[in-house]
Amino acid sequence: MTNLVLTEQHNQTLVIRINRPERKNALTHDMYTALADALDAGHADDNVRCILFTGHESCFTAGNDLGDFAKGLPGDFRETPVGRFLFDLASALKPVVAAVNGPAVGIGTTMLLHCDMVVAGNNARFQMPFANLGLCPEGGSSLLLPSWLGRVRASELLMLGGTFNADDAYRLGLINRICEPADTEATALALCDRICAQPPAAIRATKDLLTRPTVEQLKEVMLEEGALFAERLKSPEATEAFQAFMEKRQPDFSSFK
């Protein structure tokens, strides 16, 4: 496993930590593989009753490493590292909690839609800038967000790709708690401890009942999103957006139809 993703045991909680703070925890293909491996290991370990995703006190994740993803997604989306991670997360049998500080961009926000509880620092900033980059929604967000927030709110978040803070996320029902950044992980771990103290089979049954009504539709949507996302990575719009990002300028989409 890459040292850019670390794991540690806290009581009966497996902590999975994104550990690339010098690049704002931007995720590469190898890091997605490590995240999926850690998630699978947590589900296979009988000593683990809960899984916690976290990052650094200053940053959860800035999303995909554009240098890595500008090369495209190899093969069938379901079998790519990011596809494997998203599907493993969406079908997780054990409770998943997230502790979020600082930027949570792209998948840094959409992966939270598959978590059972989320704690955010008051420095958290959420964003899904897929359209801004010439891409499309991923992680089942095009299904989950409209069903949770309503069409117009989901459209604003996904079409305009603006940043929203922890207070906004709480108001929208996307997170459970807001705290000081220094307390975020401890607060999340306390929630995990409370979950772990509950009857484990009853917790798994509850999670299954909460997710079962949409699981098959969610898988279909994630495959559709993934296939289109891979196509969009090759599009002239994405090329312009990525080039503008590298050159630290605003992209110009005025000539596109």
Q: What is the CATH number of the domain that holds 73?
A: 3.90.226.10
Instruction: For residue 83, give the H/E element and its range.
Output: helix 81-90
User: Does some domain include residue 127?
Assistant: yes
Number of domains in the chain: 1
Q: Which domain range does residue 21 map to?
A: 5-178
pLDDT tens-digit series, residues 168-226: 999 999 999 999 999 999 999 999 999 999 999 999 999 999 999 999 999 999 999 99
> For position 1, what pLDDT does the model report?
54
User: Does some domain include residue 239?
Assistant: no
User: Does some domain include residue 169?
Assistant: yes
Is the pLDDT at 115 greater than 70? The verdict is yes
Q: Is the pTM of this model over 0.75?
A: yes
Question: Cα separation of 115 and 192, whole Å?
Answer: 12
pLDDT tens-digit series, residues 40-73: 999 999 999 999 999 999 999 999 998 888 777 8
User: Does some domain include residue 114?
Assistant: yes
> For position 132, what pLDDT does the model report?
97
**Using an 8 Å Cβ cutoff, are 60 and 103 in contact?**
yes
Beta strands in 19-149 (DSSP E): 50-54, 96-100, 103-105, 117-121, 125-127
